[in-house]
Structure 1
């Protein structure tokens, strides 16, 4: 209990410190934020909110595919509500989103927590691969300005560094190959002889559920569509302001990448880190730092308000949803 309180206090202090730093370095005042609110084009903001909700719905559909591969069919309402509740929880306690969404499905659809948690880990791995691809595309599209801004004296990474990383990766793969029988034997003993092993086994069942997805092409389409929706959300928010409406697709791509990194920090909903990273990106595209920070605050506030509203509604909805027995348990 004390450990959890300390972690929460640390994340809150970190969020407050990062937010204070972002505001102080740009000399942003509350009146600047108010003026940003006044000058926003709320038609584009509304479109951005709708796109954001569509991205969450696509995530729920993709998650359903992983759950279905384990013979669980919770239904779109329960899955979508669980996804929104997960995002809602992340704005309250960092890294609680995954636990909350799995707990929601355990309550409303009787799906074992460790099974659904394993599928969430799979989702995170897929998302990480997607982010890597997105970062690669961003560097290809914007390499020259990024290089001049971040690496003014460097053309490419040293060849020795690249070769060293490749060699280390190959050594790791070879080591795993020659020790796989020993690892499998130890794992079988652990998964049968201890509670921890059984929990880990449930996680692994969920993680490898991706190999049993019935329509892998559709899973890939959902994955791409989620990132496209994230990109369109960033782009439409840029269109909502006179100072950023002409920045273009490449700027939206850069903002999406940096905003994603910001949201991944161990603070409530990426507070502070998102503001600083997105503001720095907008400054890179020639928007004054004070205005850039105000825009970043608006972008984040739009996401936060959307999640708190619809996540709160979803939480209330789950209190009244009857429990739906999973197909595995009802056979």
Structure 2
């Protein structure tokens, strides 16, 4: 009963957040502005979107190829096609339950090529850590290129919040927060969750260490660079789909890319959060809300369509393979 409730929450809460962000986004627009967004979606040049999807699919194929370098390092080598279908299945599962795709990938290679699930998950976690590091580098680059645009925005909000706050209350809240965190850390040290966290971190270290000790580490890293280059190019070529976004500066493109990347973690495949956060970031670079929202939705809808088709084909291929 408890597990069923947790599963339901994992699905419904991100969906509810997505719906809420869609409501927040569209409640600020007039009827004419909503019609403008619809017009942007209808009149977009989808040849650029198709090119972007082709680049995105190349990144998926590269990810499948890259995975075998690490699996080989732990004594297993599934076929390239198995990896392709496993990754397609994982992406499709993430649309239903956020972060469930990693387990789905591991289960697929286990059933087809008998790769132990725990070892497969370890390799996936290691690649996620490396991918997150690359995303942080892109984030830092976006902040540097954007100058003071983003930093000034957050500083303005912080200064405004502190100006309205009572300093004595802030001190009290700070003390309460510090004591609460200290007590929580002390409690966790003697509870099972803390031991699980420790073992999880140890697994991350072992998985990440494998990247640097494997024989084909440079090919692995080369594929990592290629994957993120395809992501960036996919995002970049799509700015030409709508005339109003074609002249965006590189700083705006990178900042929107980072916002979209983090949005995927909040909701089911970025539902609601992806177009909303991209539009909010582009507002800082003087791109209108209607234009930014149109751009965000075109990107999200096209990428989601690719994941659905890719996932469906992967499910069919797995079903045929299992039946044989």
Identify whether the pair has TM-score above 0.5, normalized to the shorter chain: yes
Kindly provide the CA deviation profile for residues 280-305 of structure 1, in whole angstroms up to 9, marking residues without a partner as x: 12222322212221221111111101
Give SS of 1:91's match.
helix
Superposed CA RMSD in Å reads 2.9
**Equivalence for 1:66:** 70
Residues in 2 aligned to 1:137 and 1:230: alpha-carbon distance in whole angstroms? 15
Kindly provide the CA deviation profile for residues 155-182 of structure 1, in whole angstroms up to 9, marking residues without a partner as x: xxxxxxxxxxxxxxxxxxxxxxxxxxxx
Residues in 2 aligned to 1:224 and 1:47: alpha-carbon distance in whole angstroms? 19
Deviation at 1:53, TM superposition (A): 0.4
**Equivalence for 1:314:** 314
Residue 148 of structure 2: which of 144, 150, 155 is its match?
144
Residue 59 of structure 2: which of 55, 58, 61 is its match?
55
Give SS of 2:75's match.
coil
Deviation at 1:109, TM superposition (A): 1.5
Q: 2:37–2:290: 8 Å Cα contact kept in structure 1?
A: no
More helix by share: 2
Deviation at 1:200, TM superposition (A): 9.7
Task: State yes or no: 1:84 paired with 2:91.
Answer: no
Give SS of 2:287's match.
coil
**Equivalence for 1:157:** none
Kindly provide the CA deviation profile for residues 223-259 of structure 1, in whole angstroms up to 9, marking residues without a partner as x: 1111111111110111111000111433221111111
Residues in 1 aligned to 2:287 and 2:322: alpha-carbon distance in whole angstroms? 51
Give SS of 2:244's match.
coil
Deviation at 1:198, TM superposition (A): 10
Residues 158-177 of structure 1: matches in 2 within 5 Å? Answer: none
Residues in 1 aligned to 2:109 and 2:234: alpha-carbon distance in whole angstroms? 27
Q: 1:59–1:222: 8 Å Cα contact kept in structure 2?
A: yes
Q: 1:115–1:205: 8 Å Cα contact kept in structure 2?
A: no
When normalised by structure 1's length, the TM-score is 0.78
Task: State yes or no: 1:236 paired with 2:237.
Answer: yes
**Equivalence for 1:227:** 228
**Structure 2 unmatched runs, 5+:** 159-194
When normalised by structure 2's length, the TM-score is 0.79
After TM superposition, the structure 1 stretch with the greater mean CA deviation from structure 2, 112-121 or 215-224, is: 215-224
Deviation at 1:207, TM superposition (A): 5.1
Residues in 1 aligned to 2:101 and 2:233: alpha-carbon distance in whole angstroms? 23
Deviation at 1:59, TM superposition (A): 1.4
**Equivalence for 2:257:** 256
**Structure 1 unmatched runs, 5+:** 155-189, 192-196, 325-331
Give SS of 1:151's match.
helix
